[in-house]
Structure 1
Amino acid sequence: MEMKERVFFEEFDSLYYFHGGSENWAMQGFHFHNQYEIILFLTDGALMEVGNRTYHVRSGDLFLINNKEYHRTSGAAGKTYYRYVLMFEPELLSQMAEVFHYDFSRFFENRPDPFLHRLHLCGENLQKVEKLFEKIEQGIHSQNRDRAESTVRIKLSILELIASINEMYQFFMEREKNKPTQEFVEKPEEEFKDPVLYRDRIEQLKKYIASHVEERLDLNEISSRFYMNRYYLSHYFKKETGFSLTQYVANQKIIAAKALLKEGHSVTDVALALSYNSDSHFISVFKKMTGITPKKYAQSKESKKE
């Protein structure tokens, strides 16, 4: 039986750091968390999956993952995989951006297109980044001696690491501009095949729509709230329900509208209660989906009572 893919939210401390190796390393499902994450691999052969992208890892590969991206890592049984892992709250970068007038989060958020999560480091660049990780590690180990001072040093070291990585990423992007597109854009080697992770999220989404049907329910807001890429949310929602997300929301609003009209609420009150742009917009949508106007629908239900 094929193992179903799943996703889970994982809680971490606001600052998480790991430097070492793991054997038989395989996450049981995709996960996401509140923190930005930087991983530097020191061993070949692991598999890194971020969204619908799959990367075959080489030693020296560095990954930047934001707090909205599902991801998982895995490796061959019996092999030890060495790496640095750093996770921290996005607020650290946003707060410091105002202080230094520098966009620290540029490769976590407003990424250029196309974008690869992976930056391969070697030689002096790899040594520089390893030293910066070790500087953060030293700060963490010294926290017991002077916590306040150590916290400041750790934050400054993280900013130094981010600034260096940004510089390397920018150099990489500039260098690749003149290359043919196919040499730069890494196509996904695997794509989700009807994963349980989306099915579970879609069930949660349907419940959310039902309990928030009176709100506007904008697709961008929904995808952000559920930490799902807009394209994949729409794709798998239709695959699972047979409706596009927009159609499903419209249907749920009409069901709610019918119930309110049966209770004797006016067309204006119903349009307002369900966050339609205007009475005319509500009337137009209602007629398109039911074949009659809301006023005639209400009258027909009233006459049946008599």
Structure 2
Amino acid sequence: MKKNLQTAFSTRQYMLSQDFEIYYYSDFYLSQVKNHAHSYYEFYFFLEGNVTMIIEEKEYPMRPGDVVLIPPRAQHHAVIRNQENPYRRFVFWITEEYCNSLMEISSDYAYLMQHVKVTKNYIFHTDVVIFNTIQSKVFGLIDEMRSKRFGREAKISLCVNDLILHLNRIVHEQNYPKSVREELNLYQGLADYIEENLDGDLSLENLAKQFFVSKYHIAHIFKDSTGLSIHQYITKKRLAACRDAILGDVGISQVYPMFGFGDYSSFYRAFKKEYGISPKEFKDMQVTL
């Protein structure tokens, strides 16, 4: 562990910087810090010790590798018990203004902050490999902030942004494991394909051929994602396109073949079931408005 990067602990609970501050603390005995809140985000990376975090009156026993995000105005404090091993942690403060500036670059920077605010889930467990990567990024940032090398300010910004984006990615991937993300990507790809090919062959057999998956898997994904069978989903999309075309003054006899209906009778039945009136009644109603 890099002792030369440690900081003497201070009970100060306000920022001196306009953007962010980061500290590496290692202590054997500390006075208890009273319950408090910040006007900025506090990231807390727990390394070692016998500590319980109290956040919004709920207790969270800490274990090595835990990442904590405490949003602005959330009441919190640490309960530190006497121990043989030191109490070691990184503390990273970052202002709402700086986070907002990152959101202008990409909304991906805000995923974790928004997740914490909505779910009130402040603690994220990581394994040794994931936490070692975080620790490496943190030490790189602290080392750069203490350096006088050429390009220091630019490098610090890169390190901060990289750390925040990396934390967002970790939590997003915890919430959406690979199998779930793959299914979401497949569903979105299918939905886009359907939208662009309403006049084409949208049979399960053809979709399975286009996306190299089984038709049963496609049917399962659509049912789980939309609550509809894929046939119902496609029909609704085609009917909506027909309705919009009728509103655009396209003739009914021209509309239904444009969007994949094989004959007028099937189009008529589907339209009336969906909207409660016939295509002609719908068109006449628009004319009288």
TM-score by length of 2: 0.52
Determine which of 90, 95, 107 is the counterpart of 2:96.
90
- Evaluate the alpha carbon distance shift between residue 88 and residue 111 of structure 1 in structure 2; reply closer, same or farther with a 3 A threshold: closer
Q: Secondary structure, in 3 states, of the residue corresponding to 1:106?
A: helix
Q: Percent identity?
A: 18
Q: 1:129 to 1:50 in 2, by over 3 A?
A: same
Query: 1:238 corresponds to which residue?
Result: none
Cα distance, 1:123 vs structure 2:
2.6
* Structure 1 unmatched runs, 5+: 1-7, 179-306
Q: CA deviation at 1:110?
A: 5.0
Q: What is the CA-CA distance between 1:26 and the residue it aligns to?
A: 4.5
Residue 74 (structure 1) aligns with: 79
Higher helix content, 1 or 2: 2
What's the Cα RMSD here? Answer: 2.7
| C-alpha distance in 2 between matches for 1:72 and 1:115 | 16
For 1:12, what is the secondary structure of its paired residue?
A: coil
Count of matched residue pairs: 167
Deviation at 1:108, TM superposition (A): 2.0
1:9 and 1:25 mapped to 2: Cα distance? 13
Deviations 1:202-223 (A, max 9, x none): xxxxxxxxxxxxxxxxxxxxxx
2:136 to 131, 149, 152: 131
Residue 48 (str. 1) matches residue 53 (str. 2): yes
Q: Could you tell me which residue of structure 2 aligns to residue 159 of structure 1?
A: 161
Q: TM-score, normalised by structure 1?
A: 0.49
Residue 104 of structure 1: how far off its partner (Å): 1.5
SS at structure 2 position matched to 1:132: helix
What is the rounded CA distance, in whole Å, between the counterparts of 1:119 and 1:91 in structure 2?
24
Contact 1:25 1:76 in 2 (8 A): no
> Is contact 2:50–2:82 with CA below 8 Å preserved after alignment?
no
Residues 215-254 of structure 1 aligned to structure 2 (within 5 Å): none
1:177-204 Cα offsets, whole Å, 9 max, x none, are x9xxxxxxxxxxxxxxxxxxxxxxxxxx
**Kindly tell me: are residues 126 and 9 of structure 1, through their superposed partners in 2, closer, same or farther at Cα, counting changes over 3 Å?**
closer
The 1:25/1:172 distance shift into structure 2, 3 A limit, reads farther
Distance 1:137 1:12, change over 3 A: same
Query: How many angstroms apart in 1 are the aligned matches of 2:176 and 2:115?
Result: 16
Give the CA deviation at 1:145.
Answer: 4.9
* Structure 1 CA distance for aligned equivalents of residues 30 and 12 of structure 2: 19
> Relative to structure 1, is the Cα distance of residues 138 and 35 closer, same or farther in structure 2, using a 3 angstrom cutoff?
same
Letter in 2 for 1:156: L
The answer to whether the 8 A contact 1:26-1:74 is kept is: no
